[in-house]
């Protein structure tokens, strides 16, 4: 179920300095997942890249640093020669941001394809 009080464009700008060009909700069980096409504003370029934004479910968002740890593990896997999406660093320096919604606090993270 989509949470209408979540502003995807604001999340991308605040946490990643990305401008959303297109946002498409994709199916997920308990998380909200979006396919994105964005421009990275910090690089002064019009180059477009595709990403996945995951907004973690409320229960997992309560588990301190769990999502951050998962994203850190994902960053290490390519060194093992496995091809997987790569977590994008937030403006805060970590991989995971936190937003408040009407359903409670949620964690957000972006993966680069």
- Residue 89's CATH number: 3.30.200.20
Is residue 3 situated within a structural domain?
no
pLDDT on residue 74: 73
Is residue 50 situated within a structural domain?
yes
Is residue 102 situated within a structural domain?
yes
Is residue 61 situated within a structural domain?
yes
| Structural domain count of the chain | 1
Distances (CA, A) of 51 to 24, 58, 61: 11, 22, 21
What predicted TM-score, i.e. pTM, was given to this entire model? 0.62
84 or 65: which leads in pLDDT:
65
pLDDT on residue 34: 92
H-run or E-run covering 72: helix 66-76
Query: Per-residue pLDDT averaged across 101-105, rounded?
Result: 86
Q: Is the pLDDT of residue 23 over 80?
A: yes
Query: Per-residue pLDDT averaged across 97-103, rounded?
Result: 87
Q: Is the pLDDT of residue 36 over 80?
A: yes
Is residue 62 situated within a structural domain?
yes
The Cα 99–Cα 11 span in angstroms is 8
The Cα 36–Cα 27 span in angstroms is 14
Q: Which domain holds residue 79?
A: 8-112
Is residue 46 situated within a structural domain?
yes
pLDDT on residue 1: 38
Is residue 28 situated within a structural domain?
yes
pLDDT on residue 94: 87
């Amino acid at each position: 179920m989509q949470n209408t009080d979540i502003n995807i464009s604001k999340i991308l700008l605040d946490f990643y300095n990305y401008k959303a060009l297109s946002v498409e909700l994709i199916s997920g069980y308990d998380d909200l997942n979006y396919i994105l096409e964005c421009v990275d504003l910090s690089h002064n370029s019009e180059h477009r890249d595709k990403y996945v934004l995951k907004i973690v479910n409320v229960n997992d968002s309560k588990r301190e640093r769990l999502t951050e740890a998962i994203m850190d593990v994902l960053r290490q896997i390519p060194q093992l020669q496995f091809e997987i999406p790569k977590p994008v660093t937030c403006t805060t320096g970590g991989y995971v941001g936190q937003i408040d919604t009407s359903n409670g606090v949620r964690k957000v993270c972006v993966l680069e394809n």
